[in-house]
Structure 1
């Protein structure tokens, strides 16, 4: 099959392969012989949409069974959807009592399955064991960089040694008077230095460099404090070093108060260093390294132990999306999400600008009116903020999205929402609010890749499944990020960042359910430390706090 019709109500199909102008497709419906034949009116690249009928200006475009756009000019049957002939549109949404019935997947095969994680005293289970450095203000970023270089390079956590070796080889060639040409790119790289870690049970030493803590507004500093407290409290974090300047808006006392407010039983080691109270930079850095080294010795005594799969908290995210995202990777991740929910685990679906068009479905799945109304309020407040500065959710798709077939935000969003599966929505969380209920929760974050993953980890995600069609190198400092490719061409081209390839779904070699089970198996292995996601191997530690301004 060289095309797919996703929902019986749709009036567009998706090209699964490149379709030259003049290609004749036989549609599944309607029944009349003449109407079943569709002639492609122009070259259509794979991933793009083709109209199944003539469209007049104002006609509704339906995909995934919902409104995703409107025609802005006449479009012939077999015409290619583009930003020139289609504009964003989505249905309005409101709460109404709906008796939503979830078809719970069979999870009997997972009844006795476990993963090996780090058990914390408050009952939560981490999938990794990190020591975390937190600056209360951007003035301390440079000190963090100095400490990072010292600890990473000496203790076996750096990934830059192979590039240092490569640069050294270039220098040697230069000094010998040799030409620096392309063949040097084939020089052998250094071995995986992760095998040479001094502390075998410490998965990493992480650093939350940021640009906040002072200046801006006091509200910005207060929100940053809650975010940093959430990271210190994260199940994957075993100990924390805090560096403060001393005079900034975000005081160390504020951070400690937020920690206790978030978790009254918090008992991890927290090391505090204030530069304006030290005898100098050298003393500050040496003392921070010394006491952190002692802390690393302590948390290295912790070992992985079996835990039920219900102890997992998995965030689902997409970035660099393409026209296959809503057909292969996102629904496959969605099936894995349903399996996790059926076993009592937590799943977090965020990116509110990328739920535009999927609102009614999510509202209908909310367990009660209060949950639905919180979602409605957060969505409308966020979109109103964007419109107030001349933007809106409809402007979310990037040039890369559009080039690969995501013409409107509603098309992008309805496909993106597939990552959350079909289970009921048990809770709606504002930014930095912790996930406390088993099941699917919606988390208010921007669609921006790093801001969204930063927010998911703050709500407690201990793994993040990140789907991509174009290739995105995003990771997170404290939460392993697993990259899921929508197509095999991407997986082959960017093997250094992709963990799972769902291209077999596009080729009809595997079903969504089969692929979803494979994704879950990878999650179990990653949660146990048996496989290391590529983002972790690359130390892809992206961290961007959201100031609650307009970010799509």
Structure 2
């Protein structure tokens, strides 16, 4: 059922989504009148739902009625609750041949080709820190190149960025937490969007630079320098050393020029944050359509946020190209169930208060909308956090739902463009990779147009189909990869969003 007031997303659904604020007594059609005020984005019952019966949206279970729900009732956290239920993983059931574009028709973008053959969408020099203790020094170095004329002689360099974080010590010197941190550092060090890298440590931290370089097979050289504050003679001496090394690398970075590169070399990170009920109706399926197009052009699209596909993972396992790929995903789901249980938590701790204000009721509902970012093509592989992405096509990475941590993992894995959907209005950037912001509704887009690159609310407004929106997003991805600045880049976001996933005890 679709009218000016509500959207019923599937004929089998027993709820619809309010397109506008609906006042008590308003007739929404089919003999149903609103019993209560239904805020825009929230759900209204289309039929009676008995106590304990499933609440269905997208023709999927999003929760269970807590008490009897009458037609026209507001369906939300007060009467719809999360509960575990059996899901049919049906591994590989929906696998189908990918409809690739002919080679002659495949898209290209204007990017940078590095000496090792990798494709870059931006051209930065990076300063990475092994530990929080070296963060200030790294920022002091980067600050020397922020004033307007510092890079005047290097017009092809996008900037010098310090990516700092709050961990690196007070943690076990081995184990999964350290392996994850080391893998993340290595992924950034190898990222093609960096023409050169400085690694700076304090010297006595748990995350020893030499150890990480050895484990990850990183070799110091003219474009990869590693040193510590303690060995360099303190703060002032280290800042001077860092500034001098950046100046040595700048001419090399500036020598790169953009050239046509196949879109098959794009790795797209798919993220959502500050979601609302329209996320799963407009921006997320629109981004999914764009991801499908990228895959058809031979590229890679990576979905993540494992806690936010919980309850929808069975839709992904059906698209898994093998039992091994499906089992990787299922294993990640079980790890998260155990992880939150050990910490006396629940995966239904999500949605956040902002998500709920926007109409999302349970993690099941949020996950079904979030999974739509992954489009419809086959699930080709599943990766651990920050692991190098090597498969083409649609893939999955195990990341938390916390946006900066999740995107940090994507970038470490090799993502060179990110698309970030939001309904409430998240502001975000992720240097050295451009991040496009996709608004789920026109009201928020118009209110925050400085931050939003695309208004996906046109789908809710009836101005575009999901497939038409997907083409718009895909074209914007190509333009962005070719150098067009995103809103977040123009606003200067990206220096503070580097946030490796911290797993294990802080000691």
TM-score normalised to structure 1 length: 0.87
Cα distance 1:197–1:487, how it changes in 2: closer, same or farther (>3 A)? farther
Cα distance 1:95–1:514, how it changes in 2: closer, same or farther (>3 A)? closer
Cα distance 1:511–1:268, how it changes in 2: closer, same or farther (>3 A)? farther
Residue 26 (structure 2) pairs with residue 19 (structure 1): no
CA deviation profile, 1:138-157 (whole Å, cap 9, x unmatched): 1111111211222212556x
Superposition deviation, residue 60 in structure 1:
0.6
Cα distance 1:98–1:367, how it changes in 2: closer, same or farther (>3 A)? closer
Superposition deviation, residue 487 in structure 1:
0.9
Q: 1:486 corresponds to which residue? A: 440
Out of 476, 488, 492, the position equivalent to 1:535 is 488
Matches within 5 A, 1:460-475: 460-475=414-429
Q: 1:174 corresponds to which residue? A: none
Residue 370 (structure 2) pairs with residue 367 (structure 1): no
Q: 2:135 corresponds to which residue? A: 141
Cα distance 1:109–1:467, how it changes in 2: closer, same or farther (>3 A)? farther
Cα distance 1:302–1:524, how it changes in 2: closer, same or farther (>3 A)? same
Q: 1:48 corresponds to which residue? A: 42
Q: 2:224 corresponds to which residue? A: 270
Larger displacement relative to structure 2 (147-156 or 396-405): 147-156
Distance 1:110 1:12 in 2: 46
Cα distance 1:103–1:48, how it changes in 2: closer, same or farther (>3 A)? farther
Q: 2:67 corresponds to which residue? A: 73
Q: 2:184 corresponds to which residue? A: 227
What are structure 1's unaligned runs of at least 5 residues?
27-35, 157-195
Q: 1:215 corresponds to which residue? A: 170
State the SS of the aligned residue for 2:147: helix
Larger displacement relative to structure 2 (245-254 or 426-435): 245-254
Cα distance 1:412–1:197, how it changes in 2: closer, same or farther (>3 A)? farther
Out of 462, 465, 479, the position equivalent to 1:508 is 462
Larger displacement relative to structure 2 (272-281 or 319-328): 272-281
Superposition deviation, residue 112 in structure 1:
4.4
Superposition deviation, residue 110 in structure 1:
8.3
Contact 1:485/1:503, CA 8 A, preserved across alignment: yes
Matches within 5 A, 1:333-344: 333-344=287-298
Cα distance 1:42–1:89, how it changes in 2: closer, same or farther (>3 A)? same
Higher share of residues assigned helix: 1
Q: 1:167 corresponds to which residue? A: none
Cα distance 1:500–1:289, how it changes in 2: closer, same or farther (>3 A)? same
Q: 2:213 corresponds to which residue? A: 256
Distance 1:84 1:437 in 2: 44
Matches within 5 A, 1:83-122: 83-89=77-83, 91-93=85-87, 95-102=89-96, 104=98, 107=101, 111-122=105-116
Larger displacement relative to structure 2 (120-129 or 486-495): 120-129
CA deviation profile, 1:24-59 (whole Å, cap 9, x unmatched): 122xxxxxxxxx321111111111111111122101
Contact 2:91/2:320, CA 8 A, preserved across alignment: no
Distance 2:234 2:222 in 1: 27
Matches within 5 A, 1:344-359: 344-359=298-313
Distance 1:315 1:246 in 2: 34
Cα distance 1:348–1:212, how it changes in 2: closer, same or farther (>3 A)? same
Residue 157 (structure 2) pairs with residue 202 (structure 1): yes
Contact 2:100/2:298, CA 8 A, preserved across alignment: no
Cα distance 1:215–1:115, how it changes in 2: closer, same or farther (>3 A)? same
What are structure 2's unaligned runs of at least 5 residues?
none
Contact 1:95/1:373, CA 8 A, preserved across alignment: no
Distance 1:48 1:248 in 2: 49
Contact 2:442/2:457, CA 8 A, preserved across alignment: yes
How many pairs were matched up? Answer: 498
State the SS of the aligned residue for 1:116: strand
Distance 1:23 1:105 in 2: 46
Contact 2:450/2:487, CA 8 A, preserved across alignment: yes
CA deviation profile, 1:378-414 (whole Å, cap 9, x unmatched): 1111121102222121111011100110011111110
Q: 1:237 corresponds to which residue? A: 194
Larger displacement relative to structure 2 (200-209 or 104-113): 104-113
Residue 501 (structure 2) pairs with residue 546 (structure 1): yes
Matches within 5 A, 1:27-46: 36-46=30-40
Q: 1:123 corresponds to which residue? A: 117
Contact 1:225/1:254, CA 8 A, preserved across alignment: no
Residue 431 (structure 2) pairs with residue 477 (structure 1): yes
Residue 247 (structure 2) pairs with residue 293 (structure 1): yes
Distance 1:353 1:144 in 2: 33
Contact 2:271/2:407, CA 8 A, preserved across alignment: yes
CA deviation profile, 1:246-280 (whole Å, cap 9, x unmatched): 2222222123224427xx9x977112222222234
Q: 1:498 corresponds to which residue? A: 452
Larger Rg: 1
Contact 2:276/2:359, CA 8 A, preserved across alignment: yes
